[in-house]
Structure 1
C-alpha cells in the first residue's frame, strides 16, 4: 500500500510541476515520507526527476540564463550538494524527517503569505547573502533532494522573467539530480528498488502529458494556492507524526 501511495504522489507531483512549474520532488517526497523513509524513496524519485527536468531543459533551452547558471548557481549548488551528501550520515532518519518537514512548512507558509497578500513584496538580498543561501540550498539538496525552496528564496530580487527562471532552474535540477543518481548508483541504493523506479517511468510520462494539458486549462493562481495548502498540511504531518 505504501508504494501505491508513493505512485499516486509521483503522478500528482509531476503533473503539478508540468502544469505550474514547481515542486515535483518536494511534493512527492513530502507525501511519500509520510509512509516510507526518506532514504528509501529518494533513490527512487530522484532519477525520475531527470525525465522532467531534462524535458524542460531541452524544450526551453533558448531561455536558459547561462551567465547566472555557470558563474553562480551550478558551482555553489554542486559544492553545497557535495557537503550535504558527505554529512548526511551524521543525521538519523528522524532528524532528516524533521529537517525536511521544517523546510516544507517554511516554504509553503512563505509562498502562501505572498500568494494571499498581493501588496507584500519580497526584498532583494545582498550579493553575498544570495551566494550563501544558494550554497545552503545545495546542502539541502544533498541531504534530501529538495534544494528548490531555499534556492527560490535565494534568488529573491534577481531580475529574471518567469520563462528564464524556469528554464535555468530546470538545468540546475537536471545536473544535480544526475549527480545524485550517479551517487546512488555508486553506493548501491539506486538498485535496492530499481523495479519501482522503472515502474514509475510511465507514470511520470503520463503526468507530464497531463500537466501540459492542464497548463492551458486551469487557473494557475488558484491551483498554486491549493497545492501550497496541501504541501503545508503534508509538512505539518511530517513534523508531528
Structure 2
C-alpha cells in the first residue's frame, strides 16, 4: 500500500515537474521519506527527475541559455559536493526537521510575499551554492535555483528549458555517488522500474497542461501543496 501511494505521489509530482521545470522532487521528497525511507526516496526520485528533465531538455533544447546553464552547474556542482558530505556526516534526526522547516518557509514566502525581491549579484550566486548543498543532501535544490534563474531568465520557455538540463547533469553525478555508496539496491531499482510508467504518463500530461494552464494560479496551488509536504516531515 505504501508503494502504491508512493507511485501516486510520484505521478502528481512529475506532472508538476513537467509544468514548472523545478518543483516536482521538492514536493515529493518529504512525503516519500515518510512512505519508503530517506535513502530509498533520494535514489528513486533522483533517477525519476533525471529521466523527466532529460525529456524536457531534449524537447526544448532550442530555448536553452547555455552561458547561464554553465554558471549554474559550476556553483551548484560545488555546493552539491558539500551537501553529500553533510548528509553522510550529520544525523538525520537533525537534518530532517531542518529540511521540513526550510520547505515550509519557502512555501509560505511564495504564498504570502509572491513579489520577487531584487538581490545583489553575490547573493544570487550564493543562492546557487546553497541550492547545490540542499540538492546534495535531499535532491531538492529547486526552490533556491529558482531564486537565481527567475532573476536572470524572464522568458517562460527559456526558463523551463535551461533549468531542466541542470537536473540532468547534477542528478547524473548523484546517481554515480549513490552507486558508490551502495544505495542502488535491487529493491530500489525494482521500485524505480515500476515507477517508469506513471512517470512517462505524468510527463505527457504535464506537457499538455503546461501549454494551457494559468501559470500563476498553478504555482499558488503548488506552494500550498509544498507547505503541506513540509509539514509532513515535521509532524510524526
Please indicate the TM-score interval, normalised by the length of the shorter structure. over 0.9
Structure 2 equivalent of residue 21 of structure 1: 21
Number of corresponding residues: 235
Per the normalisation by structure 2, the TM-score is: 0.92
Compared CA separation, residues 145 and 225, structure 1 to 2 (3 A): same
Shift of residue 176, structure 1, vs aligned partner: 0.6
User: In 2, distance between residues paired with 1:190 and 1:196?
Assistant: 11
Structure 1 equivalent of residue 30 of structure 2 = 30
TM-score normalized by the length of structure 1: 0.90
Work out whether residues 22 and 164 of structure 2, in 8 Å CA contact, stay in contact via their aligned partners in 1.
no
SS in 1 for 2:119: coil
User: Shift of the alpha carbon at 1:114?
Assistant: 4.1
The residue aligned with 2:108 is: 109
1:181 to 2:175 alignment: yes
Who is 1:221 aligned against? 216
Establish whether residue 197 from structure 1 lines up as the match of residue 206 from structure 2.
no
| 1:87-236 → structure 2 map (5 Å cutoff) | 87-115=86-114, 121-155=115-149, 157-192=151-186, 193-236=188-231
- Contact 2:22–2:143 at 8 Å: present in 1 too? no
- What is the rounded CA distance, in whole Å, between the counterparts of 1:47 and 1:20 in structure 2? 18
CA positional deviation for 1:213? 2.6
Farther off after superposition, 106-115 or 146-155: 106-115
- Give per-residue Cα distances to partners, 1:179-233, cap 9 Å, x unaligned: 1011111222012411001110111001111222333454433332222212111
Contact 2:16 2:23 in 1 (8 A): yes
Aligned to 1:85: 84
- What are the ranges of 5 or more consecutive residues in structure 2 without an aligned counterpart? none
Cα distance in 2 between the residues matched to 1:220 and 1:187: 39
The 2-side partners of 1:195 and 1:201 are apart by 10
